[in-house]
Structure 1
Amino acid sequence: MTREELLQQARKIESVSEETSAEMKNNSELLLSLINKNLSERNDIEKYIGTGSIQMMKINHKNHIEFMSSVMSEYDPNVFSETVLWAVRTYMARGFKKEYWQIQLNEWLRLFKENLSEKAFREISPFYTFILNNLDNIVETNEDDS
């Protein structure tokens, strides 16, 4: 898949409502705390992020929630798709495995479902589904660019 094809798919995602944006921002500290706790407690996490990379993982989670909160409310498909490509490429270069992204993104979805309103979950989930459904393509596009 090319960057342009990825962008075309990203254009199908709609921005979230002001209510969902506010709800996500108001709960971002809780969500961040939960994802850091849940992933740090996994016995196998270093298999996916490398030995001694817990702090880097937590930095990624903080940057992730801040970026996603911002991009969802003022959605620009190009910024979204290019940033996803960059983040996956950057962290994989630091030893993070593709499986980490699968684990992390599914955990965010679970946390959103458990801690946000049904409406917020419905509006937020397409962003995560997009990344999960295109993860192989994202990794492949990054490899082609190298």
Structure 2
Amino acid sequence: MNFLIEAVNENLSQRDDLMQLIGNNSIKKMKDNHENHAGFMYNSFKVKSEKLFINTIIWVYRTYKNHGFSYQYFPVELKARKSAVNNNLSSEN
């Protein structure tokens, strides 16, 4: 999980529009959020709870937005997560 978080952090940190995406937040806050979000997702997959998964996504979306992240942040971050998974995990995983 840690190397996936790092891949997402690196991907987003290299963007020219990063500050527009994360608002007045620090890059450290973005990275901390990625780590926390990954932990929530891991737990929802581990317990195989669709409700927990859905509620976590909704909570993350609202929380990030309330802390000044742009709505455009979410598709960019999701694309980075998908890329990290596709580039670092085998199809079996």
TM-score, normalization by structure 1: 0.59
CA distance in structure 1 between the aligned counterparts of 2:46 and 2:18, rounded to whole angstroms = 31
Aligned equivalent of 2:19: 46
Aligned equivalent of 2:36: 63
Bigger Cα Rg: 1
Unaligned runs of 5+ in 1: 1-27, 121-146
For the residue of structure 1 that corresponds to 2:41, the secondary structure is: helix
Q: Which amino acid aligns with 1:49?
A: I
Unaligned runs of 5+ in 2: none
Aligned pairs, how many?
A: 93
Structure 1 residues 1-146: aligned runs within 5 Å: 28-120=1-93
How much does 1:65 deviate? 1.4
Q: Which amino acid aligns with 1:59?
A: D
Q: By percentage of residues, which structure has more helix?
A: 1
How much does 1:101 deviate? 0.8
Change (3 A) 1:85 1:114: same
- Paired-residue identity, %: 34
CA distance in structure 1 between the aligned counterparts of 2:5 and 2:51, rounded to whole angstroms = 25
How much does 1:71 deviate? 1.0
Q: Tell me how large the CA RMSD over aligned residues is.
A: 1.3
How much does 1:99 deviate? 1.2
Aligned equivalent of 1:128: none
